[in-house]
A and B are shown apart, each in its own frame.
Chain A
Amino acid sequence: MAIKLGDYKTGVHNDWCPGCGDFGIVNAIQMSLAEMQIPKHKAAIFSGIGCSGKTSHFINTYGVHTLHGRVLTFAQGAKIANPEMTIIAAGGDGDGLGIGAGHFVAAGRRNVNMTYIIFDNAVYGLTKGQASPTLKLGEQTKSLANPNPNYNVNPIALAISSGFTFVARSYSYDVRQLKDLITAAVNHKGLAFIDVLQPCPTYNDLYTRDWFSGLDQINEETKKPTPRIYNLADVGYDPVVHYSTTTELNEKLAQALEKSLEWGDKIPTGIFYKNELVTPYTKRITDKIPNYLENPAAKQKISKNGKPTTDISEILDSLCV
């Protein structure tokens, strides 16, 4: 029997502010799970701390609301121990690129087969609007006493240079595109990253829904706003690394990095970079442990009638000198 979209929803009251971009992201995750028909016990949503951290409570799959900045550590541990699970990690930009930046970089290097979604609104919402790592130098959102004194992290560029093999951006009000990207990310063989731009209607008065829609950029001829958001797929951009050649790889990396710098009147979304030629972590384990996928940590039988079945006699023999 088909699993319905509603089956992925919990009855937990959603306490996000009206108009919050988070809603679109939760909806897109649920739509994507329904589209892929993943049984709810086969998926786990891991989340960090902050408004976005509550995401896991609204989705009716295994939900693990972890610690500030640490979501990737828990998620990778679970995925490596039980590679049959579909794992989606979600967290804020402060969570993943501030306090958790070290884990972000290390996760890229590992390339574990799972998806990481950053809710990117440039502020720390739940603590009342401090500057987050994606707020640009000199910008002053409404609860800041002074303009932001720090340069911003570029999440797309950081992901690419850390080794993520699927790097995408979306916009939380474009739920359909986001849903498609989540599905593509989950199906990607390796670590996928989606940076989701989203307004924080309460604390970010710069990157508002109207700003993303380009209400300040009225086309003189059509008298209509020129949206800032556009889709790379619509402009003939090919993010995929097709061959194992350094030349092509470097071209694709350079192209993605260049695109990641585009900001202002036009903001690209969609897939920036995708490379399935890099070995996923699974492969790196099966190279050492050939039956890892059939018999991973979580599936192994360790005892019979309360007694261990592991046989260490060979090692003990070698220690009896």
Chain B
Amino acid sequence: MVFDYSWLIGGPQGSGVDTAANIFSRVGTKLGYHVFGKREYHSNIKGLHSYFVVRLSDNKIRSNVNGANIMVAFDAETMIRHGLSISKNGAIIYDSSIVNTSIDEIPTIEADHRVRLDEFFKSKNMEPKVSSIIELAKESGVNVYPISFRDALSNIADELKRPELSRMTRMFNVLGVSFSLGVLKAPIAPLLESIEEIFSTKPTIVDLNKKAANFAYNYASAKFSGFNVSLNETDKEPNIMLVQGHQGSALGKMVCGCRFQSYYPITPASDESEFLETHEILQVKEDRPGSTTIVQTEDEISAIGMAVGASLTGTRSATSTSGPGFSLMAETLGWAGINEVPVVISLFQRSGPSTGLPTRQGQDDLLSAIHAGHGEFPRIVYASGDVEDSFYDTGKCFNFADIFQLPVIHILDKFIASSVVTCNRFEPDLVSIDRGKLLEKIDGDYKRFAHSPDGISPRSKLGLENGVFWNTGDESDEHGHISEDPVNRIQMMDKRQKKVEQILTLVPKNDQVVAYGKSDICIVSWGSPKGPILDAIEMHRNEGNEIGFIDIKLLEPFPTEYVKLLLKDSSVIVDIEANMTAQLGSLIRKNLLKDPDYYVLKYTGRPMTCIEIFDSLKKILEKKAEKRQVLLYGD
């Protein structure tokens, strides 16, 4: 029997939920489990609810399931929101002081949610209180383990003779994760090691937290020793990393030689820039250290302007943003298009429109990425499905930008950015660097936009002798000077447009679309649904049902012929994506002149779970599905 177990911790933002989840994920990794964790949070600094679900498994996992097996709650809101999502035979560890809290006393629950809760409790004929949730959980076979977190803290304070500790409620998180690991009878050593590693820069805190962890672990393992699930040391695969979503593309940028990134702060993209800045000095083999110059700009217009300016010097340059910032970049995107400037825009999508759900998942910017900017110019839109892909894809995006001399929009999203997962150690040797027609030396006459059969001209860079050129956002001649001549106009437009054919010819087919098995029923998707889709397909395979899946990574220009070929033996096409209007579906209808048979869509702002996708596919297999299924799971 495969071990597959999910742990949930929740609490007010700013209370250290992330740290606790980080500890739990590390412990799971050290024990040899595959880890998939996701963070959900409000657009808020302190006080609103956030939670983390960490799933551990013996097998490779790429998504979350619905609910969790075990939960730790030291505030009433976590109990109210998640208490009923814990599965039978699971456990809820909670702070005994929250039992009598009623939902009226929790101001951070949204009004609409409050109404739903009232109705729910009324239908059960129960008081709208935490105690009712505990009652219901017990009824459904969940073990409930009350602990007074305050008493635990007082005990630790007494033991260490430091009375001030009894008020340090910030430590509830370390207590929570340690209680959990005690109940789960995990070996204690990885817990203490993880604390040491996470707080390595703060020696005084390390000690305190280790003592607290030790206390809490022993307390819970002694008091709730009857729990029937335990975490054990398993066969650990070598070279497994525990990586946060935003680190994939950041590390990819370091390796592939991105040396300039400008950005304006925005969720969920800024973490990537901050990681780059933290590691701005780079070790280089057989050479002096290199560096990435990171500039925080005054807005996203400046961010892309600077990246384009830096690229003109021959530097591999990028900017990183989310939907609202990307909207501001549209005009400069066109400038980079007409001036054939390689620049990479890492677009970490979140839910729009406008500010939308600023900290939540969404894939509603595909058509925006493809169409942003006025006028007609070639660009590449390329999507990554998970953290591991994002590392290698980043290198590819920079190669595309250099080879085809155009802006490349690398699409990622909040789901990827704020997940914490185990994956194989990245292999920088698998990354190649191809700078296309970038020149290092020029003799004689030079024309930046010289006509050439493939539409791509040799590229000079600022500072190169004999390589002087001009750029302009106006239509220009081969030198780059303004020209409104109609014959030149058509030559230049056609020159740039030739790149589309070049891209579809030169980008390897496996980089355009990844096909995961063929079948009569085939899923088409793009970006981060990849993980839950693959998990759901595996679940169906275990039940004897084969389902195919093609992950379309190159979305502009659209690889029509290749997609057609991949789908030719499938009679049922299922489009799965995280938006309302099925944006990939619209590309398939436009390019393949074919309407997918089914749509599975989610736009609640929460990532898809493998269970939801499994269920929706099941309905399709049983021919009981509506054409359009909307997924709703998650808080």
A interface residues (Cβ-Cβ under 8 A, vs B): 10, 12, 39-42, 44, 46, 49, 54, 56-57, 60-67, 70, 72-82, 84-85, 102-103, 105-106, 285, 288-289, 291-292, 294-298, 300-304, 306-316, 319-321
Contact = CB atoms under 8 A, between A and B. Distances in A.
B305 A102 contact: no
A293 B284 CA distance: 17
Interface in B553-602: none
B462 interface: yes
A280 B251 CA distance: 30
Contacts of A56: 470, 472
B482 interface: yes
Interface SS, A side: mixed
B235 to A, nearest CB: 16
B335 A67 contact: yes
Contact of A41 (B241, B289, B304, B465): B465
A308 B428 contact: yes
B187 interface: no
A67 B332 contact: yes
Given A41-B467, A297-B260, A312-B255, A289 B432 contact: no
Among B315, B316, B317, B482: residue with most chain A CB under 10 A = B315
B281 interface: yes
Given A81-B260, A291-B289, A297-B293, A49 B463 contact: no
A65 B470 contact: yes
A172 to B, nearest CB: 22
Given A64-B470, A300-B290, A311 B310 contact: no
Contact of A49 (B284, B315, B473): B473
A162 to B, nearest CB: 11
A102 B471 CA distance: 24
7 tightest CB-CB pairs across the interface, nearest first?
A73-B305, A302-B257, A77-B309, A77-B306, A106-B298, A81-B310, A65-B472
B469 A62 contact: yes
Interface in B296-313: 297-299, 301-302, 304-313
B433 A102 contact: no
A51 B449 CA distance: 24
B463 A319 contact: no
Given A41-B463, A70-B305, A316-B425, A297 B259 contact: yes
A60 B468 contact: yes
Contacts of A102: 298-299, 302
Contacts of B462: 44, 62, 78, 82, 85, 298
A295 B291 contact: yes
A289 to B, nearest CB: 4
B391 to A, nearest CB: 10
A76 B315 contact: no
Given A82-B463, A298-B314, A316-B426, A75 B471 contact: no
A308 B429 CA distance: 7
Interface of B: 26, 29-30, 194, 197, 239-243, 247, 251, 254-257, 259-260, 262, 279-293, 295, 297-299, 301-302, 304-317, 331-332, 335, 395, 425-426, 428-429, 431-435, 461-474, 480-482
Contacts of A63: 468-471, 480
B468 A41 contact: yes
Given A41-B466, A295-B289, 14 more contacts: A41-B463, A56-B470, A73-B301, A74-B305, A289-B280, A291-B288, A297-B259, A297-B291, A298-B462, A302-B290, A303-B257, A312-B251, A313-B283, A321-B242
B279 to A, nearest CB: 6
A315 B290 contact: no
A315 B433 contact: no
Contact of A311 (B285, B304, B433): B285
Contacts of B315: 81-82, 297-298, 300
A289 B242 CA distance: 28
A264 B434 CA distance: 60
Nearest to A319: B241
B557 to A, nearest CB: 25
B298 A103 contact: yes
B257 A310 contact: yes
A69 B475 CA distance: 19
B468 A77 contact: no
Contacts of B290: 295, 300-302, 310
Contact of A321 (B29, B251, B288): B29
A76 B241 contact: no
**Chain B, interface SS category:** mixed
B291 A292 contact: yes
Contact of B481 (A57, A67, A72): A57
Nearest to A46: B309
A314 B284 CA distance: 12
B255 A81 contact: no
B257 A76 contact: no
Contacts of A103: 298, 301-302, 305
Nearest to B190: A321
A54 B69 CA distance: 67
Given A285-B293, A297-B293, A300-B290, A42 B463 contact: yes
B432 A306 contact: yes
B466 A70 contact: no
Contacts of A41: 463-468
19 contacts: A41-B464, A44-B462, A64-B312, A67-B335, A70-B332, A74-B312, A77-B312, A78-B312, A80-B295, A289-B281, A297-B313, A297-B317, A300-B315, A302-B256, A302-B316, A308-B395, A308-B431, A310-B257, A310-B285
A320 B197 CA distance: 12
B302 A73 contact: yes
B428 to A, nearest CB: 6
A302 B306 contact: no
B75 to A, nearest CB: 28
A303 B428 CA distance: 12
Contacts of B292: 297
A219 B124 CA distance: 97
A55 B223 CA distance: 80
Given A73-B306, A106-B298, A306-B434, A40 B468 contact: yes
Contact of A80 (B194, B293, B434, B481): B293
Nearest to B278: A315
Nearest to B244: A319
Nearest to A99: B301
A297 B470 contact: no
A80 B255 contact: no
Contacts of A321: 26, 29-30, 194, 197, 241-242
Contacts of A304: 285
B255 A310 contact: yes
A10 B467 CA distance: 15
A66 B314 CA distance: 17
B131 to A, nearest CB: 39
A77 B469 CA distance: 18
Given A41-B464, A302-B256, A289 B309 contact: no
Contact of A81 (B281, B302, B313, B466): B313
